[in-house]
């Protein structure tokens, strides 16, 4: 099981291109256990009101060996309970779509979209299950993480892996909530050796109609997504 968890998050950082930094926003001690339970209940209740989400994203990829930060832009589309699309537009184009128990991957190469093999479908579904859980405000997973919550300017959730094999690659996930505590403002995945990636979400469009065709992976290219 630990080997599978490690492989899942290696794919998460390489295929979906998530990764992250040394604790940007945490400047105060964690809340007490009683406060933690109450906050998590409030957060999940607030997040549960989000049935659909379209949000732009900006990724900052930082590798300690290089001084330059690689910046990528794209968008995320989510439809509760189990439809998710992550797409990068610049400086490259790629698309990852999950629709229920189906996973589809696309890459834009030599002027056209190419549909790729998804590899280990079970692993990919587990990855996306984790992401959709975060988008629903469900951060507590006692089998995988120790969870801490911090009250700074906004609420910050820190997920620290428990397994030593996992911690060789990922030291923690930092999830920053918006001021209303009803959505994610950023995700930071702290890797080892001071490597990190920060994904910032902006221009959220909540609870607007999203056609199921956005998550259709039966075609040779991903369906277009209307601008917002």
State pLDDT tens for residues 122-169. Answer: 766 776 777 888 989 999 888 889 999 999 889 999 999 888 877 777
Give the model's confidence band at 15: pLDDT under 50 very low, under 70 low, under 90 confident, else very high: very low
- Please give the share of the chain, as a percent, with pLDDT higher than 90: 56
Give the model's pLDDT for residue 108: 97
DSSP state of 133: H
Contact of 129 with 136, CB cutoff 8 Å: no
Q: Topology of 2-11+21-215 in CATH?
A: outer membrane lipoprotein receptor (LolB), chain A (2.50.20)
Q: Token pair of 222, please?
A: 């991903």
Dihedral sign from CA coordinates of 92, 57, 85, 218: negative
pLDDT in tens, 170-222: 888 899 999 999 999 999 988 877 788 899 999 999 999 999 999 999 999 99
Of 154, 192, 222, 188, the closest CA to residue 59 belongs to: 188
Give the model's pLDDT for residue 4: 40
Give the model's confidence band at 32: pLDDT under 50 very low, under 70 low, under 90 confident, else very high: very high
Q: Tell me the DSSP string of 81-116.
A: TTEEEEEEEESS-EEEEEETTEEEEEEEETTEEEEE
Q: Residue 32, Cβ neighbours under 10 Å: how many? A: 10
How is the chain split into domains, by residue range? 2-11+21-215
Q: Report the pLDDT averaged over residues 90-109.
A: 93
Give the model's pLDDT for residue 16: 42
Q: What is the pTM of this model?
A: 0.80
């Amino acid at each position: 099981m630990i080997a599978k968890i490690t492989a899942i998050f290696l794919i998460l950082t390489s295929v979906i291109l998530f990764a992250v930094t040394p604790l940007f926003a945490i400047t105060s001690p964690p809340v007490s256990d009683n406060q933690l339970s109450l906050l998590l209940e409030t957060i999940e209740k607030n997040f549960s009101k989000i049935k659909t989400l379209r949000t732009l994203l900006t990724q900052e990829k930082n590798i300690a060996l290089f001084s330059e930060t690689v910046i990528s832009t794209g968008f995320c589309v989510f439809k509760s309970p189990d439809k998710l699309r992550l797409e990068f537009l610049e400086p490259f184009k790629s698309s990852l779509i999950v629709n229920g128990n189906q996973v589809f991957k696309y890459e834009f190469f030599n002027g056209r979209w190419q549909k790729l093999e998804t590899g280990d479908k079970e692993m990919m579904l587990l990855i996306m299950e984790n992401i959709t859980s975060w988008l629903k405000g469900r951060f507590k997973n006692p089998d995988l993480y120790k969870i801490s919550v911090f009250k700074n300017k906004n609420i910050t959730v820190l997920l620290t892996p428990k397994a030593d094999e996992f911690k060789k690659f990922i030291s923690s996930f930092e999830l920053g909530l918006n001021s209303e505590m009803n959505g994610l403002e950023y995700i930071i995945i702290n890797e080892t050796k001071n490597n990190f990636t920060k994904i910032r979400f902006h221009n959220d469009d909540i609870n607007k109609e999203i056609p199921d065709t956005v998550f259709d992976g039966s075609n040779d290219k991903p369906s277009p997504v209307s601008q917002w």
